[in-house]
Amino acid sequence: MKDNHFNDYWRLKVANREAVVGCVLAAINILWWFGFAYGLGSKPPEEYTYVLGFPAWFFWSCIVGYLVMVALVFIVVKFVLKEVPLDDEVDDEEEESA
């Protein structure tokens, strides 16, 4: 019973760390979007610069921000997150006694 509690604790530590990583990614996305959308978009529309036909604030906040976040999420999933078994681990001794 104590080993199972330890395994659950180990899983919770991994889940908490991955939840923090997800929240950090969400915060980066919001800060990126907010910074470019309000930083470049706070001018009058007559003073906007355009990139590929889009206002610069929209291009940098929505289009490039989306691509940056896709790349960051891919990197995090590939190199930071790790697979955790979700099934109950039962020792051979416990199976024989049951």
pLDDT range class, residue 87, cuts 50, 70, 90: confident
Distance (Å, whole) CA 49 – CA 39? 13
Q: Read off the pTM.
A: 0.75
- Residue 58 vs residue 86, higher pLDDT: 58
Per residue in 8-66, pLDDT (tens digit) is 688 888 889 999 999 999 999 999 999 999 988 888 889 999 999 999 999 999 999 99
pLDDT score of 8: 62
More confident residue, 88 or 21: 21
Look at 85 and 92; give whichever has higher pLDDT: 85
> Which residues, in sequence order, are CB contacts of 10 under 8 Å at separation 6+?
none
**Rounded Cα–Cα distance for residues 34 and 29 (Å):** 8
pLDDT at 4: 59
